[in-house]
Amino acid sequence: MTGTSILTRFAPLPSRWPAIWPRGKPPVRPDLHTLWLQPRLLPNALQSPTVERILDLLGPLDWPRFPDRDLQRNWGQPTVPYAGLAAAFLLMLNEALRSMSSLRRFLVEHPGFIWAFGFPLIPAARHPGRFDPAASLPTQRYLTQLLRSLPNGALQFLLADSTRLILQELAALGISAGDCISLDTKHILAWVKENNPKTHVPDRYDKTKQPAGDPDCRLGCKCRHNRHDKEPAQLSTPTKNPVPAQPADYGEYYWGYGSGVVVTKVPGWGEFVIAELTQTFDQPDVSYFFPLMATVEQRLGKRPRCGTFDAAFDAFYVYDYFHRPGDPSCFAAVPFSEKGGYKAKGRQFSPNGSPKCAAGLPMSLKMTFLDRTRAIIEHERGKYVCPLLYPQPNGQSCPINHKNWPRKGCTADMPTSPGARLRYTLDRDGEAYQAAYRQRTAVERINSQALALGIERPHWRNGQAIANQNTLIYTLINLRFLQRLRKRQPAAD
């Protein structure tokens, strides 16, 4: 990056346009989708195999309907279209360019992208295409600023359109997709010294002391499951790519963000992303469920029949969402988390839905109430009590002489919705559950692709920039999947 200011990087267009471009104005440039359909519209001097390859990747998207900003408004400098920025950032991810300076240098070396992406052109007769590539681009700092200010809704349009194109291509192949989805979250480390274990930081994990390097990140914990049998020595900080070591029985603390993603698997072809959401790392996993499922319904045009999740999503409303009375193929495949101390098959229910006590007797519903504190949604809960004592004592004693009998018998407090019963009665050893849960590996493979694209350790210091990069990463994953579909290249075994 040079010392030239942002404004002078976009110098006013010179008055000698007629000597460079006929009719005194630059040529009308088509959008990326039109260029993909008619590649000959790109000037011969700007064509190259690299430009052709990227156009084949990005071109299928519906760029003419991209929700761009007002390009006619005077913003104080030549207007850079959001569509061109989105395309440039997708190019940056696809070509593994890890900085804005690398992106800018790549665009200067391949001026066909500057022309195709719609950047304002500064005329220069001595350059191919009759414009100056370096002068036609924003500075490195301004590109970073634009990534922070780019509305995430515009990028969500690209992700939604990539999903639409994939579904259309699958329909042409006679394949139905989206009946079974997988949802998971991915932790993202903020670029702050508090996440560097080699740097001395007093009160590293004090959530009231916001890191100066990123005003938007939050402190959260990446919980560790099924690791209680490990010794502390086995969980020490690794020598490569170090992360903070934490107690073995809980997890690791980071300042950062979380990315929730919903994917679906297409047997024989792979998997693709339907929806994604980025939040700060202090938000629980279940907080992603309702926003993401609303987006999934919108993009699929239907409600999925089955969903697979990890134990963090073991909540009654997750089971409620997928439950359809009379259709056993609609369910949520979630491991039991043993909340409240009950084993997966420890709670039994009577035919009318009442829980049974330890003696096997259907408990009596004493009252219901509205709970606004114990879940992320408002819900009705019921208090069930010993049937031998309520509504009237019948003179019988507890058949098993339970320890709670002297204290007015057993009680149970649980939601009254069907999902609360399904959480206990779901056959997790059955073939249907096992077949559905095996599809959860789809989201793990998507997370692996996102990790290779740099989602875990972004070099940005702003929540909006990180959210935008995450949306672009998942869009690129979908575009690569779409490209394989269009070329009829099934996934390798």
Q: What are the φ and ψ backbone dihedral angles of 301, each rounded to 5 degrees?
A: 75, 15
Contact 282, 220 (CB under 8 A): yes
Q: Where residue 24 falls among pLDDT bands split at 50, 70, 90?
A: low
pLDDT tens per residue across span 253-307: 999 999 999 999 999 999 999 999 999 999 999 999 999 999 999 999 999 999 9
Mean pLDDT, rounded, for 62-69? 94
Q: Where residue 252 falls among pLDDT bands split at 50, 70, 90?
A: confident
pLDDT at position 489, please? 81
Amino acid in the structure at residue 203:
D
pLDDT at position 23, please? 52
Contact 448, 273 (CB under 8 A): no
Q: Mean pLDDT over all residues of the chain?
A: 88
- Distance, in Å, from the CA atom of 164 to the CA atom of 61, rounded to the nearest integer, reads 9
With a pLDDT cut of 90, the percent of the chain lying above it is 75
pLDDT at position 137, please? 94
Q: At what angle do helices 140-149 and 82-94 cross, to 10 degrees?
A: 110
Min mean pLDDT across 7-16, 152-161, 340-349, 478-487 is at 7-16
pLDDT at position 18, please? 43
pLDDT at position 239, please? 54
- Structure token digits, residue 229: 């049998």
pLDDT at position 246, please? 47
Q: Does residue 245 carry a pLDDT above 80? A: no
Q: Is the pTM of this model over 0.75?
A: yes
pLDDT tens per residue across span 422-450: 999 999 999 999 999 999 999 999 999 99
Q: Does residue 226 carry a pLDDT above 50? A: no
pLDDT at position 379, please? 96
Q: Does residue 151 carry a pLDDT above 60? A: yes
Q: Where residue 492 falls among pLDDT bands split at 50, 70, 90?
A: low
**Furthest CA-CA distance within the chain:** 106
Min mean pLDDT across 17-26, 49-58, 280-289, 467-476 is at 17-26
pLDDT at position 248, please? 43
Mean pLDDT, rounded, for 464-469? 97
Sorted by where each starts, the structural domains of the chain and their CATH numbers stand as: 6-150 (no CATH), 175-334+435-463 (3.30.420), 339-427 (no CATH)
pLDDT at position 127, please? 86
- Distance, in Å, from the CA atom of 216 to the CA atom of 462, rounded to the nearest integer, reads 6
Closest C-alpha to 486, from 161, 56, 55, 31 = 56
Is the alpha carbon torsion for 402, 404, 408, 411 positive or negative? negative
Backbone angle region of 134, left / alpha / beta, with phi > 0 → left and psi within -120 to 50 → alpha: alpha
C-alpha distance from residue 278 to each of 223, 260, 268, 283, 397 (Å): 18, 6, 29, 10, 55
Alpha carbon 173 to chain centroid distance? 27
